[in-house]
Amino acid sequence: MTLYAQIDRTHSPLRVTFPAPYNAAVDLVDRHVAQGRGERVAYVDDHGSTTYTKLASQVDRAGHALRALGVRREERVVLVMQDTVDFPTVFLGAMKIGAVPVPVNTLLHPDDYTYLLNDSRARVIVVSDTLLPKLEKAIAASPHLAHVVTARTSLGASTSGDRGSPPQLLHLLEKAWPTLDAVETSADEVAFWLYSSGSTGTPKAAMHLHSHIMWTSALYAQGVLGMREDDVVYSAAKLFFAYGLGNGLTFPLSVGATAVLATERVTSQAFARVMTAHRPTLFCGVPTLFASILADTLLDPRALSTRLRASISAGEALPKHIGEKWRAAYGTDILDGIGSTELLHIFLSNRHGEVHYGTSGRPVPGYDVDIRGEDGQMVRDGEEGILWVRGPTAAAGYWNQREKSLAAFHGPWTRTGDRYSRDADGFYTYAGRGDDMLKVGGIWVSPFEVESALASHEAVLEAAVVGDADADQLTKPRAFVVLKDHSQANPALEAELKAFVKSKLASYKYPRWIEFVAELPKTATGKIQRFRLRS
């Protein structure tokens, strides 16, 4: 009986077939042990390295530990975790017992977690010890949670043994049995969820299947990047983000490669440290990070990039000048590609040897990409329209969100909401969003959310938020604010309002610029005219 997905490379686009039953956790970890790669290093994190053999036993222990806490097949386990080997351990342990891991953004505001715990009805939450204080209120408010487990982030931070403190993952794993038979899931069964935020309303969970893991690996990681067993992958984008989850978990494990994880906030200095210590062959970041690394004059690019064979950018469009400067300094191209939580990973990308900076490249073989006008018809080359995608990795839908599912998923096609045009050579260029959503440092920001936060300040009458380009041509929120008393407008109030938004929302959402205006441009029906504020 075969347990693993088969990739047929004689077909173009290639084909992936799955046995029945199929559990992706077995394919990602146990396969390497069974095929003699057990002593290879799967992870290097702040604590040390973990071989595939060790990872396999940790994953199995995690499966048993979750079961012992009462987690059953199909139940959700929320992960609010920093990037250490505990993340893949819990993620894959949950999948192996047929439960559904739900990694969530670690940068959110405390209030945001209440919704996520209620919406997912998670049984168990695994949270990094450093993040626990931020989660306490949401945990106390959740009627569905049965257990909280803490994961150790740094070496000294153990609080084990304190009475009343939640059990530690470390201790649960130690006590658990190290071998586990995978639950016989099917390739079409929901394997994990990822939340995504929209312009209005609450975040929605895209439900992904066991088969989507090998499909994204075959089509993008192996097909486009040529990822192999001897690669060492460093994703600055964290594992909670679909982009980081592929780069740092499902891709390297699918080919038996090594992934480097770091818990620290990613800065140019942190980048330099990881590059020096681990010599990665592939580096994955977002445009803001590439810009800040290039701006750091203390770094020696040639010394840092001795083994680097490619860099990858996604999350928002990579400005042309950043790609060109990077190639000159670091000696490798940046492959800009667009992916989404709905499609799981990158479906349109630049490729080795045919990089066109300022574009998102061409469709990843295995995906079909259309640009359609308002009437639903394909537009001609050079004309703008909305980007639609068809491929084997579209989410099964959003959890409990019928309206939003219908708006995004249309049979095999997914509507991205991005405006694009295609040139005569078949390269696709991003032309902004079809809605008001902003990508800031690669993460969604809803202008409405920032506006409501501003409007809740006592000095503010109303506010409008739009995206504006910073010195690197990267989008940041800009706010136009009408005060109750216009004479109060001054730099001190501007600073206060920025700090106020940071205290109410995840801090990456705050407006980098605030302009006090006497009134906002509106339509006859009172709707704010954002296009006038953008220009």
* Binding positions for ligand 3UK, rule: CB under 6 A: 196, 242-243, 314-317, 336-341, 345-346, 360, 416, 418, 430, 433, 439, 444
Q: How far is the CB of 400 from ligand 3UK (least distance, A)?
A: 19
Minimum separation from the CB atom of position 127 to ligand 3UK (A): 22
Using the minimum distance from each CB to ligand 3UK, give the nearer residue, 149 or 408: 408
Neighbours of 299 (CB within 10 A): 18
Taking the complex as a whole, how short is the minimal distance between the CB of residue 512 and ligand 3UK, in angstroms?
Answer: 19
Q: Rounded to the nearest whole angstrom, what is the least distance from the CB of residue 511 to ligand 3UK in the complex?
A: 20
Closer to ligand 3UK by Cβ: residue 84 or 414: 414
Identify which of residues 427 and 500 has a Cβ nearer to ligand 3UK in the complex: 427
Closer CB to ligand 3UK, 127 or 284, in the complex: 284
**DSSP per-residue codes, 449-496:** HHHHHHHTSTTEEEEEEEEEE-TTS-EEEEEEEEESSGGG-SHHHHHH
Q: Mapping DSSP to helix (H, G, I), strand (E, B) and coil, where does residue 358 land?
A: coil
For the CB of residue 358, give the shortest distance to ligand 3UK in the complex, in Å: 10
CA distance 207 to 346: 17
Q: How far apart are CA 332 and CA 305, in angstroms?
A: 9
Minimum Å gap between C-beta 395 and ligand 3UK is 10
Q: Provide the phi-psi class of 70: left if phi over 0, else alpha when psi is between -120 and 50, else beta.
A: left
Report the residue number, 243 or 271, with the smaller CB distance to ligand 3UK. 243
| DSSP label of 166 | P
Q: How far is the CB of 347 from ligand 3UK (least distance, A)?
A: 9
Which segments of 174-263 are extended strands (E)? 190-196, 204-209, 232-235, 258-260
Task: Closer to ligand 3UK by CB, 33 or 379: give it.
Answer: 379
- Nearer to ligand 3UK among residue 261 and residue 438 (C-beta): 438
Determine the residue with CB nearest ligand 3UK.
339
Contact (CB, 8 A) for 461 and 453: no
535 class by beta-carbon count within 10 Å (0-12 exposed, 13-18 middle, 19+ buried): exposed
Total length of the chain:
535
Q: Which is nearer to ligand 3UK, 63 or 319 (CB)?
A: 319
Strands, E assignment, 224-333: 232-235, 258-260, 282-285, 310-313
At its nearest, how many Å lie between ligand 3UK and the CB of residue 436? Answer: 12
Q: How far is the CB of 293 from ligand 3UK (least distance, A)?
A: 17
Q: Name which of 51 and 405 has its Cβ closer to ligand 3UK.
A: 405
Q: Which helix (H) or strand (E) holds 25?
A: helix 24-25
> Measured at the alpha carbon of residue 283, what is the angle toward residues 280 and 288, in degrees to the nearest 5?
145
Burial 381-415 (b: 16+ CB within 10 A, else e): eeebbbbbbbbbbbbbbbbebeebbeebbeeeebb
User: Of the two residues 22 and 430, which places its CB atom closer to ligand 3UK in the complex?
Assistant: 430
203 cis-preceded (ω within 30 degrees of 0): no
Asked if residues 359 and 334 have their Cβ atoms less than 8 Å apart, the reply is: no
Please give the distance of CA 476 from its chain centroid, rounded to a whole number. 19
The Cα 490–Cα 506 span in angstroms is: 25
Of residues 18 and 430, the one with the C-beta less far from ligand 3UK? 430
DSSP structure string for 49-95: EEEHHHHHHHHHHHHHHHHHTT--TT-EEEEE--SSTHHHHHHHHHH
Which letter does DSSP use for residue 159 in this model?
A: -
- Residue closer to ligand 3UK by CB (options 133, 201) is 201
Bridge partner list, 421: 429
Instruction: Return the SS3 of 22.
Output: coil
